[in-house]
Amino acid sequence: MVKPEDTFEMEASVGTSETDIKPYGAANAQVPTIKFARKIYGMLLNNQASSTNTLTIKIYDTDGTTLLRSIAITIGAYDTLDISRSIDSPILTVYAGQYLKAVASVASVTVVMNAYDL
C-alpha cells in the first residue's frame, strides 16, 4: 500500500519549449523500467502569463519520440488550476519506460504534480 513517504512531487516551469516533468534527482522524464507505472493524483497549474494559456501534457512511448497521448488544458491569465484526487483515483498514469513532458502555448506555466510509482 502506498504511504505518504512513498509519494513525491514533480515541479517545472513550462514554457514554449517542451519540458521534462520529472522528480528530484531523476536524469530525465522517463518512468523507470523497473517500475510498473507512475500515478499522478494531484496537479497544481499556475498560468504566469497575462493572457490565456494552453498547457499540453504529452506522454511519449519508450522510444522517447512516439507521441502516445496529448492532453491540452486551457488556463486563464494568472489563473490557478488545482486538481486534487485521492491516491486511489489518480488523474493520469504513465507506464514504465514512457516519458512525461509538457509545453505551453505562451510562457510560462508553473506545474506541480503529486505522484507515486508502483
Partner 1 sequence: MNGSGYIRDILTPIRQALLAENMNFALIFPVRIRNDWKFELFFFRVMRRYVLHRTYDSELSELSAYGQTGYSVDFKYVGETAMGSGDDVLSIWHEYPFRILHFGIGIRPSEIWLYKAIPSGYPQTGWGYKILPSVGNKRDYIDGYLSPYDEPTVASETILYYKLTVYLGLVNSSGRKVRPSLKFFGAGYDCIPITSREIINRMIVGAIPCRFITVGGLTEFPYAIPGEWKNNSVEVDKKLVESLMLGGGRYG
* Residues of this chain that bind partner 1 (CB under 8 A): 1-3, 5-6, 8, 22-27, 30-32, 34-35, 38, 117
User: Residue 111 Cβ, how far from partner 1 at the closest point, in Å?
Assistant: 16
Burial class from Cβ neighbours inside 10 Å (0-12, 13-18, 19+) for residue 67 reads exposed
Nearer to partner 1 among residue 26 and residue 103 (C-beta): 26
User: Residue 80 Cβ, how far from partner 1 at the closest point, in Å?
Assistant: 25
User: Residue 6 Cβ, how far from partner 1 at the closest point, in Å?
Assistant: 5
Give the bridge partners for 114, in sequence order.
9, 42
Exposure class string for 72-84: b at 16+ Cβ within 10 A, else e: ebebeeeeeeeee
Nearer to partner 1 among residue 15 and residue 23 (C-beta): 23
User: Residue 100 Cβ, how far from partner 1 at the closest point, in Å?
Assistant: 11
User: Which DSSP string do the residues of 63-109 spell out, in sequence order?
Assistant: TSSSEEEEEEEEE-TT-EEEEE--TTS-SEEEETT-EEEEEESSS-E
Nearer to partner 1 among residue 25 and residue 50 (C-beta): 25
Nearer to partner 1 among residue 31 and residue 102 (C-beta): 31
